[in-house]
Chain A
Amino acid sequence: MKITGAAPIELTIYPISESAVTIEFGNTIDEGLMNRIGGFNRLLHQKPFPGMYDTVPAYTTLSVFFDPTALIYNNELPGTNCFEKVSGYLKGLKDEGSSGPIVENETVNIPVCYGGPLGPDLEYVATYHHLTIDEVVKLHSAAIYKVYMIGFIPGFAYMGGLNELLETPRKESPRKAVPAGAVGIAGKQTGIYPLESPGGWQIIGQTPVSLFDASRDQPSLLKAGDKVKFEPINLSDFEQMTINNKVAPPDGEAQGA
């Protein structure tokens, strides 16, 4: 997908709080649109305005968070209030954004132990689709998924690219606790639980990799725009990798004092 050549679209910008605005790029899930949002987001982080904290990319929007008190007396940005100042700044960036460089996103390989006690719903998913367990694993691990956005709980990636043959409705009653690392399917989506939490997804496997770790420089393993590929591993690999994670955490050091 290329960003260049896309027809310029007038950006809609609206406030979502006194300290945040949302830029709307469109209204349907579309990979070209998401690349555009990614490009704009990168540009904005290279050229932040005074008082900007962070941004939240989503399917069709990019939200920008800032400190109004750091902005209101900034005379370099025209406008009588913060919303005008930020909107004006973002609209000014637009043109550069649409002709920005194309950045190839990295592919993140995630090892998954499918089925057995770590994938209690794998058999259900196979039966539901009249497939064998091996076929489900093959289909799920052959695809390259795209991270549309991070949301819901820290490090959770909304991913697109699930093979239609695997689309499975959520469980009728959600589990009270799904372990961190559980890989599941819900409707057209597949995803990984970064933290233990309640959940209604069909759990087909588990990864020993930590999707969210506050002691890492980038706590979330995945970010919007990444590509993801699942690699099947067996239970003993899973256990070995889990032990290794515990012995040597990625950054080694504890946070703070």
Chain B
Amino acid sequence: MITIRKAGLLTTVQDLGRVNYLSQAVPFSGAMDSLSARIANIALGNDEDCAVIEFTQSGASLFTGSDALLAFSGDGAYLTTDDRRLPSDRLVFIPAGTSLYLEHNKSGSRSYLAIAGGWDVPKVLGSRSTYLTAKIGGLEGRCLAENDRLHGTGKLTPAAEVIFNSLQGPIIKYPNWCVARELFLPERGNAIRVMPGREIDWFTQSSRNGFLSQTYTIGNNSNRMGYHLEGVSINRLRKDELLSTAVTPGTIQVTNDGSLILLMADCQTTGGYPRIAQVAAVDMPLCAQLKPGDSVSFKELSWKEAEKLYIKLMQDLAKVTLAVKQKYGVK
């Protein structure tokens, strides 16, 4: 069990999202950086869709009310105790009575804390992800606040239990291996790869070229629903009104004044702005780590290549999951 001492900027429980109610306009939600969320779970031998806590930048602090096997991942903060920084992407045994802090990490925006067995919140519409607009999922459909308590489900895999017993004691302990998250990440600082959106030919050629050569800045009013991309505006050839149709996280829309919006995890299920591009799913974890003021640029990828890369990533993650489970002696 942990207690939230300081809530931080925006702290919510998430999993890999809600996929079966899109037709009723319930968005995906889920961890913005699903790669880091997966890796925190994989390190613990959890199923990859166990609930994790998503922190936005630094500032939150917690207190362990009981002994816990935790894993931390992501780039929004470092996880520290009163006297040291804890390693990421690996399981860590933390004894009861430890204070934990999310300390400033300039490289990203979001981090994830998983517990062996997953955080115990009820599934709502098939997912534990918090969706604040409809007040569903996570802890009572809201963001975590001071003095909230979260429990693990206690459903450790048999092997996680062995590890837990072997590390349990009065001090923080962890094994000498971790999940190499960098191996699954496109290189940081590179252009975000995008595929052409359905209405790409609604825009002038010079705007299309500009989109792929200019640098954009993440706007201040950016959140889990979407990012405003500030930069050179996009000009349209066709001024038709687009009839609303389905959109997904990663869709880049052009609003009527020519500015760009990148849709993120909590985005609406339908939209009526023409789409210039779609971010490759494998690069969405990089987008999730962007914060207001960061700059970003885009380069083109084919739809075929994007699908190949996504399937390769999922297969590689499945291999690591299996390797970790075998390490734990689980078939």
Interface on A for B, CB 8 Å cutoff? 14-20, 22, 27, 29, 53-61, 63, 65, 68-69, 72, 81-83, 149-156, 158, 195, 197, 212, 214, 218-220, 223-224, 254-257
The smallest C-beta distance from A61 to any residue of chain B, in angstroms, reads 5
Tell whether, in the assembled complex, residue A154 and residue B134 are in contact, meaning their CB atoms are under 8 Å apart.
yes
B124 & A255 in contact (Cβ 8 Å cutoff): yes
Asked whether A218 and B24 contact (CB < 8 A) given A16-B248, A81-B304, A195-B133, the answer is yes
Q: Which residues of B contact A (CB under 8 A)?
A: 19-27, 120-125, 133-134, 136, 195, 198, 243-251, 268-270, 275, 278, 280-281, 303-304, 306-308, 310-311, 314-315, 318
Contacts of A156 in B (CB 8 A): 25
Instruction: Report whether A20 and B24 are in contact in the complex, using a CB–CB cutoff of 8 Å.
Output: no
State whether A153 touches B133 (Cβ < 8 A). Answer: yes
Contact indicator A17/B278 (Cβ below 8 Å): yes
Complex-state Cα separation, A197 to B311, whole angstroms: 38
Closest to A26 in B: B243
CB < 8 Å neighbour of A152 from B268, B278, B303: B268
Partner of A223, one of B23, B122, B246, B318: B23
The residues of B that contact A69 with a CB separation of less than 8 Å are: 311, 314-315, 318
List residues of chain A with CB within 8 A of the CB of B246: 16, 20, 22, 56, 58, 61, 63
Q: Which one of A58, A69, A72, A151 has the highest number of Cβ atoms from chain B below 10 Å of its Cβ?
A: A151
Structural contact, B245 and A63, CB atoms closer than 8 A: yes
Please give, as numbers and ranges, the residues of chain A lying within 8 Å of B311 by CB-CB distance: 68-69, 72, 82
Smallest CB-CB separation from A56: which chain B residue?
A: B246
Q: How far is the CA of A207 from the CA of B278 in the complex (A)?
A: 38
Give A63 to B251 CA distance when docked, in angstroms.
14
B24 contact from A18, A63, A154, Cβ within 8 A: A154
A219–B278 contact, CB under 8 A?
A: no
Residue of A nearest to B22 (CB): A54
A218-B248 Cα distance, complex, nearest whole Å: 22
A27 to B146, CA, bound (A): 51
Asked if A197 contacts B243 (CB within 8 A), the reply is no
Q: Give the docked Cα–Cα distance between A58 and B125 (Å).
A: 22
Q: Which residue in chain B gives the minimum CB-CB distance to A82? A: B307
